[in-house]
Amino acid sequence: MFNRILKIKDIQHLNDYYFVLCVDIGEPAREVKPGQFFELKRPDQLFPMLRKPISVYDIQGSMVFLMVKQVGKGTELLAQMQPGRDLDVLGPCGNSFPVNSGQKAVLVSGGIGYPPLFLLKQELGKADNSVYWLHGGRSRIDIFHADEIWTDDGSARHQGFVTEGLFKYLEHNQPDIIYACGPRQMLKTCHQVAIQYDIPLYVSLEEYMACGIGVCHGCAVKVKSDNGIGVTYKTVCKDGPVFNADEIIW
């Protein structure tokens, strides 16, 4: 893990809300795994002081691509960046998705839940897994390439929640594993569906973070403990962001 000021190599605006930052992190890029994230902020701004956790979207050699959605002040400032400007980068943080081989995997993403699954899809492919990807969003602005697309407002492809798509898919297919990243409610529904079909589900969670390295316990998620009898909190930044969905108390 490192904390360095790096030059932005490129910034690509996908639409008014989503953009992709590219930084050259050198040797550590080899070790970055799907599900991990970096904490980013602008070193030239006092506020916000805390870095924003951003998932790794793609890796090409030593280049790391980080896909961001503008949701507040921190991400708005990141969106105004230009190539050649300084970026404060801390990471890679967190754990990663388990990658098996020779399996049939389903990916389910909602909105900004898309990027970590993009990297995961590549790794799954390399390990000889077949992948079917369902992606959903509020409207077409939240939509990126996938096998099946859902929008709440019907502005692109199927109208409805992406979890409806998952349900229909499972009526006719028997995947070995499901991976999901997106809004909490979407993940919760994925878990209900996964239980019904008895398929293991791994989810990547998002939480407000301060340290990003497991010190402050700010990004708490409620999980089962003591073989399911007790309750405790784990950190999304260090214990996660990827969890077996059965572990979480939804």
Residues that bind other proteins (CB under 8 A): 1-3, 47-50, 90, 207-211, 213-222, 231-233, 238
CA distances from 63 to 25, 104, 140 (A): 6, 29, 28
When the beta carbons of 181 and 221 are compared against other proteins, the nearer one is 221
At closest approach, how far in Å is the CB of 79 from other proteins?
Answer: 18
d(CA 163, CA 179): 12
Among candidate residues 175, 126, 138, 145, the one with its CA nearest the CA of residue 57: 145
CB of 98 to other proteins, least distance (A): 23
**Shortest Å, Cβ 76 to other proteins:** 14
CB of 222 to other proteins, least distance (A): 7
DSSP letters, 61-80, are TTEEEEEEE--SHHHHHHHT
Between strands 220-225 and 230-235, the pairing is antiparallel
Cβ-based nearer residue to other proteins, 80 or 232: 232
- Considering the complex, state which of residue 92 and residue 175 has its C-beta at the smaller distance from other proteins: 92
**Of 158 and 224, CB closest to other proteins:** 224
93: how many CB neighbours lie within 10 A of its CB?
23
> Which is nearer to other proteins, 188 or 238 (by Cβ)?
238
Cα distance between residue 134 and residue 151, in whole Å: 11
Nearest distance in Å: CB 1, other proteins: 5
Q: At a CB cut-off of 8 Å and minimum separation 6, what does 147 contact?
A: 132, 133, 134
